[in-house]
Amino acid sequence: MLLYNARLAWKSIRRNPVLSFLIVLGIALGVGVSTTFITAYHVLARDPVPGKSESLYYVRMNSWGVADDPFLRTPPPLITYRDALELLKSPVPVRSTASFQSHDTVFPEGGARPFGQDLRLATADLFPMFAAPFRYGGPWSREADTRPESVAVISSALNDRLFGGANSVGRTIRLGNHPVRVVGVLGAWRPRVRAFALFGSPLDAPEPIFLPLALAGPMELKPHEFQMSWRTPQPGEEKLPYASQLMLDEVLFVSFWAELTDARQAETYRHYVDAYVSEQKKLGRFPHPLNNRVTPMLDLMDELKVVPPQTKALAAISLLFLVVAALNLIGLFLGKFLARAATVGVRRALGASRRTIFVQHLVECELMGLAGGLCGVLLALLGLAVLNHVYGDGPQGVPFFRLDLLMVLAAVGLSLLAGAIAGVYPAWRICSVPPARHLKTQ
């Protein structure tokens, strides 16, 4: 019976190709537009570290040291290098990492022209905390953090450029005046949001080089992104070695993340941070009232509006678009079905039950819904390709916006739903046409 219905539907679709095209086009546009923008929103708003983000907390504390505080309500977004080193010593979190972005020159072997690269100074825990995939090797050890060892984790793109994509673990790269040994090569890694650097440019790709945080002093690596300072260096301080200046300065540029297993541990950690600040107050730092924050990652992303709010508006608007498309569909189906009320009258007179007629028409709606949905998915692919083109792909060639299986299924489901919702009323109208009415005038 279903097959018979499908055949009837196909005949009816072919009988009026222009109209059928319009119907399919209507669904395709509705599904295509909404899938594109909902995917864009979904990609941006999605949990950047699935399964882990609930346990990742961002630490802020108000170390601003002058009376006029621009951070009256919320503490500054970053912390100082020296406070980061102290917090890293805390035994409370499972893992914790402090990191900042810097920049240096890579001198390739064989005398090729050097090139500048952004890099991130971090601790070894960053890789497991933010689920970085490795192609070769792995993160450096925690010992390498403290000693520190001159080691590096590099991106696969940089590995391709320097080593032709070969396993470079154990090889050496010259960064400025310093040789560093490669311990790990990352796999394809293009998180939608660079979660470890939510302040700054969170939508950029991860840096191509990672180094132990403690190398900042010896390698004289200075913060390259956002930094804030309230303290003017005292005369003579600028003559000190950079490593010592780092420890003295009240410059805010470090992002600090802690991995905490549950709310209770988070509470314990908050007390720990408060206790640390109270301790520092005794030393004359942190003149402002206690105002520290240990914020879960997803809350912080909301607070920072990492997902541009207009993206949300677009997603909402495109959902409404789907509603308009469905309304449109109801109208088109209604017209299409009622135009053949006479034929239906004959079928009814020949013994088709109301149910049969209903099912027959609903099948037709679903068929067209499905066709429209598939075209819609194609449109969405096109739309996302355009978005990818204008947003720019990640340096590792991983497209930013991808249509995952879930979204495809959702789109097809959506179109079936649209077909059903749009089809029910017209199918009901046509099946409740009394058989006699259209036969009488024949």
Residues near other proteins (CB under 8 A) are 19, 22, 25-26, 29-30, 33, 37, 66, 68, 70, 103, 105, 107, 114-116, 176-177, 220, 222, 230-232, 308-310, 312-314, 316-318, 320-321, 323-325, 327-328, 330-332, 334-336, 338-339, 387, 390-391, 425, 429, 441-442
Residue with tokens 């914790």: 96
Give the shortest CB-8-to-other proteins separation in angstroms.
Answer: 20
**Minimum CB distance to other proteins smaller for 235 or for 351:** 235
The least distance separating other proteins from the CB of residue 71, rounded to whole angstroms, comes to 12
Strand ranges for 149-204 from DSSP E = 151-154, 172-175, 178-186
Residues 400, 406, 409: CA angle, nearest 5 degrees: 125
DSSP assignment letter at 48: S
State which residue, 85 or 314, has the beta carbon closest to other proteins.
Answer: 314
Please report which residue ranges of 191-339 form alpha helices under DSSP H: 216-219, 242-248, 263-282, 297-304, 309-338
Q: Answer for the pair 259, 56: CB distance below 8 angstroms, yes or no.
A: yes
Task: Tell me how far apart the alpha carbons of residues 313 and 315 are, in angstroms, rounded to a whole number.
Answer: 5
Q: What's the closest the beta carbon of residue 379 comes to other proteins, in angstroms?
A: 10
Q: Say if CB 119 and CB 210 are below 8 A apart.
A: yes
For residues 215 and 437, give the distance between their C-alpha atoms in angstroms, rounded to a whole number: 89
| Nearest residue (CB) to other proteins, 186 versus 362 | 362
Tokens representing residue 206 in the block? 């991860």
Closest separation in Å from C-beta 254 to other proteins = 17
- Identify the CA nearest to 121 among candidates 246, 231, 232: 246
CB 415 within 8 A of CB 373: yes
410-434 CB burial, b ≥16 within 10 A, e <16:
bbbebbbbbbebbbbebbeebbebe
Instruction: Give the separation between CA 414 and CA 380, rounded to whole angstroms.
Output: 13
Question: Minimum CB separation from other proteins for residue 130, in Å?
Answer: 24
Residue closer to other proteins by CB (options 164, 232) is 232
What's the closest the beta carbon of residue 125 comes to other proteins, in angstroms? 27
Least distance (Å) from other proteins to the CB of residue 420?
17
In whole angstroms, the minimum distance from the beta carbon of 162 to other proteins comes to 16
CA distances from 98 to 255, 256, 279, 289 (A): 6, 4, 20, 24
To the nearest whole angstrom, how small is the minimum distance from the Cβ of residue 386 to other proteins? Answer: 9
Q: Would you call 270 exposed, middle or buried from its count of C-beta atoms within 10 A (0-12, 13-18, 19+)?
A: middle
Q: Of 336 and 348, which has the nearer Cβ to other proteins? A: 336
* Closest CB 314 distance from other proteins, rounded Å: 6
Q: CB of residue 290 vs other proteins: minimum separation in angstroms? A: 23
Preceding omega of 148 cis (within 30 degrees of 0): yes
**Pick 94 or 313: Cβ nearer other proteins:** 313
Shortest distance, position 166 Cβ to other proteins, whole Å: 26
The nearer residue to other proteins, 70 or 111, going by C-beta atoms, is 70
| For other proteins, the closer CB: 134 or 226 | 226
428 contacts: CB under 8 Å, gap ≥ 6: 358
What is the radius of gyration, based on Cα positions, of the chain?
31
**Any idea how long the chain is?**
442
Q: Can you tell me which residue has the tokens 């495109």?
A: 318
Query: CA-CA distance, 20 to 344, in Å (whole number)?
Result: 19
Residues 6 or more apart whose Cβ sits within 8 Å of residue 420: 362, 365, 366, 369
